[in-house]
Structure 1
């Protein structure tokens, strides 16, 4: 217990905060290899198979033909796409369609969102899966070496031994361009390695993942002393140590090679299209967003490939999408029932597609309106969310 007074209190609190950060870091690192990413949540929005909406595959270029994409991304203050409105009686759920990546030099003009957040009775987080386990800080720290080993290929194998020669040559060319002489990455599993390459390529082309929408939401919630309401489906792993051991034994599968091939196609030839979609979100061009709906579905599928492993199947983690959708719809139903004004975020693909979360919500509500659709309700007269249904 920390008991102190005066200037020592600040140091004491910092110590408590540091302990909590270490505890969370331990848990996240233990689960990192299982999620094939650094965050503890797998987003399910936009992850469905939507191949019909994807651009045609791009033929692989000759080695040495890779050149700068010369992507042009917008900068400065941009409005974003506006808000979708879901009406049920006098209650409205406002939904912001999210997109990743976005131009890293843009500033989002979020006035409309801030106005809604100032009145919202509840703010729903995005759908997804949280994979967790009940581990303490000491046990978590002892498992960190195993977690780090699980992010690498079994038996110390390197990518040159695991990938077809033509694919490895393409990987090497792009790695030299965007990552330089990083030898450690050669021992990482293909999905992890290619994701690091993808992020580096985005950065080099003026794009980034995150840090545009979340800071605005965090600031607005903090100002109201209000917490984000999670909608993620929590799945517990009772045996994290054994899960790590099982995953470490799993070698490279055909799906891993196909994922890397697709991701290299995107990096070599698809970045202008990725940038065009990021620009469309920034300037609020719904026509372009509609025309390119589903573009990132295969990327999302690649990066969620852990869910297709034997380790995941043994623990019932390979068929979660319907459960995640039902969990989010239940949260949206409750928000519309209890609050006159509520707010949520969803992948813009799930707002524009015919098989997404918004499509599933339509039969349960009176109206669903896109940002460019007018309605007969004066948003300014909507009663604030503080007035709740009895």
Structure 2
């Protein structure tokens, strides 16, 4: 969570400035926004039920070609006559997949509330955001004008050069970015090249159904209060990060894990729960979270302490409140937060709720 949250907070001034162009100020939310796409309209005939297929591009690379897919079924958490339906999100997914689930549409139409994934957000007024803009300039760059060649071990830099040439081409500007930011840019480019995306299209389709049914949406995010954002941004820009491990792990995923990503994407898209349960969700983000968690500018910010535990507690409290109040609630969690003995579903079961896994 930290690898996504803290850069977003450091860029909060940009969000605040963007809000100044709209009617009212708002908050900068940590989770990345969903890309705008069109959901399959009602009455659209189902696509060929075959699996997500693989094709080969002219360069000999495997890519995914996908039609309309339903994704996995939903977990049912219940007590008495009250039900919480949990949808497992996942990414990356095939770029050309059109997601549509009749089960999700039916449940949303019958629900009274939608519970979003756990996360964190920070509020800053648009006027204050504008005053922070000067501090944001150059926030992605290494301190003291260092380049990736200066801060990376020679063997890691050589691997970077190979993958950069393959996925980014001639991009000299990225050589001055911190490893953690350069790695994320490379990772996204690698996914795109492999016919994969982060899966925001699924969330966009769900959002359309939420809007259609005029549902109440609860975002159980924890609030990150920063007393002096300008100071935090300055300290971030001037502080070194131990992000070489994050960078190296990201390279490793692109070098060796793209085929496994395709297998995972295919399992999710066709609702193969047995296949999904065999998947490993360990990836480079843990190393990237550690780089941020151990940074000097984080350690003096009380708001960033125990973020994961606080976010989990907030979501669990919101889930139990919804279960008590509603006949039907639709909730979203990443699959890695659902599966396993430490997942949210297991925690609800331990509190006495009945849990039924999808068929």
Question: Do the aligned residues in 2 keep the contact of 1:178 with 1:204 (CA within 8 Å)?
Answer: yes
**1:161 counterpart (128, 150, 163):** 150
Other structure's SS at 1:236 match: coil
Q: Is 1:103 matched with 2:94? A: yes
The match for 2:217 is: 228
Q: Whole-Å Cα distance in 2 between the matches of residues 341 and 133 of structure 1?
A: 31
Other structure's SS at 1:358 match: helix
The match for 1:58 is: none
Q: Whole-Å Cα distance in 2 between the matches of residues 313 and 69 of structure 1?
A: 47
Question: Please, what TM-score do these two structures have when normalized by structure 2?
Answer: 0.82
Q: Is 1:295 matched with 2:286? A: no
Q: Is 1:354 matched with 2:344? A: no
Q: Is 1:209 matched with 2:211? A: no
Uncovered stretches (5+) of structure 2, i.e. residues with no partner: 1-17, 34-58
Q: Whole-Å Cα distance in 1 between the matches of residues 198 and 289 of structure 2?
A: 14
Question: Do the aligned residues in 2 keep the contact of 1:153 with 1:188 (CA within 8 Å)?
Answer: yes
Q: Whole-Å Cα distance in 1 between the matches of residues 60 and 250 of structure 2?
A: 15
In the TM superposition, 1:221-260 aligns within 5 A as: 221-253=210-242, 256-260=243-247
**Larger radius of gyration, structure 1 or 2?**
1
Question: Please, what TM-score do these two structures have when normalized by structure 1?
Answer: 0.76
The match for 1:345 is: 332
Other structure's SS at 1:280 match: helix
Deviation at 1:165, TM superposition (A): 0.6
Deviation at 1:264, TM superposition (A): 0.3
Deviation at 1:304, TM superposition (A): 7.0
Q: Whole-Å Cα distance in 2 between the matches of residues 280 and 138 of structure 1?
A: 46
**1:279 counterpart (253, 262, 266):** 266
The match for 2:21 is: 19
Q: Whole-Å Cα distance in 2 between the matches of residues 179 and 125 of structure 1?
A: 34
Q: Is 1:41 matched with 2:43? A: no
Q: Is 1:183 matched with 2:172? A: yes
Deviation at 1:367, TM superposition (A): 1.4
Question: Do the aligned residues in 1 keep the contact of 2:78 with 2:84 (CA within 8 Å)?
Answer: yes
In the TM superposition, 1:62-211 aligns within 5 A as: 70-130=61-121, 132-134=122-124, 136-211=125-200
Other structure's SS at 1:342 match: strand
**1:219 counterpart (187, 208, 212):** 208
The match for 2:52 is: none
Other structure's SS at 1:203 match: helix
Uncovered stretches (5+) of structure 1, i.e. residues with no partner: 1-15, 29-38, 44-67, 373-390
Other structure's SS at 2:217 match: coil
Moved over 3 A (4+): 21-24, 68-72
Question: Do the aligned residues in 1 keep the contact of 2:241 with 2:291 (CA within 8 Å)?
Answer: no
RMSD, matched Cα: 2.3
